[in-house]
C-alpha cells in the first residue's frame, strides 16, 4: 500500500536534515583541523620562546628547610 504524500515528504525531509547534520559536522571537523594546523604553523617560529612553560623537572630545585 502506498504511503500518503505527507508521510513520504516527512521521511524525505527528516533524512535530508540528518544528512545535512552529518555533512556540517564533517565540515566543522575539517575547519577545526585546518585552524589548528594554521595556528601550529604560525607559532612554530616562536618555539624557542616558550618561557610560559614550566621548566623540566630536572631543572627544578627543591626548597631546603631552614635549620
* Assigned domain for 49 exists: no
In whole angstroms, give the CA distance from residue 16 to residue 23.
Answer: 10
* Assigned domain for 61 exists: no
Going from the C-alpha of 7 to that of each of 13, 15, 20, the distances in angstroms are 10, 12, 20
Kind plus residue range of the DSSP H or E element containing 31? helix 5-43
pLDDT at residue 45 in the model: 74
* Assigned domain for 11 exists: yes
Structural domain for 16, as ranges: 4-43
* Assigned domain for 18 exists: yes
In three-state secondary structure terms, 30 is helix
Please state the domain count of the chain: 1
| pTM check: above 0.75 | no
The sign of the dihedral angle between the CA atoms of 45, 51, 54, 60 is positive
pLDDT in tens, the chain (67 residues): 556 667 778 889 999 999 999 999 999 999 999 999 999 988 887 666 655 555 555 555 555 666 5
Amino acid at each position: 500500500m502506498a504511503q500518503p504524500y505527507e508521510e513520504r515528504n516527512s521521511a524525505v525531509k527528516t533524512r535530508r536534515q540528518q544528512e545535512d547534520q552529518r555533512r556540517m559536522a564533517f565540515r566543522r571537523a575539517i575547519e577545526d583541523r585546518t585552524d589548528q594546523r594554521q595556528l601550529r604553523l604560525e607559532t612554530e617560529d616562536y618555539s624557542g620562546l616558550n618561557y610560559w612553560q614550566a621548566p623540566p623537572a630536572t631543572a627544578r630545585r627543591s626548597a631546603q628547610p631552614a635549620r
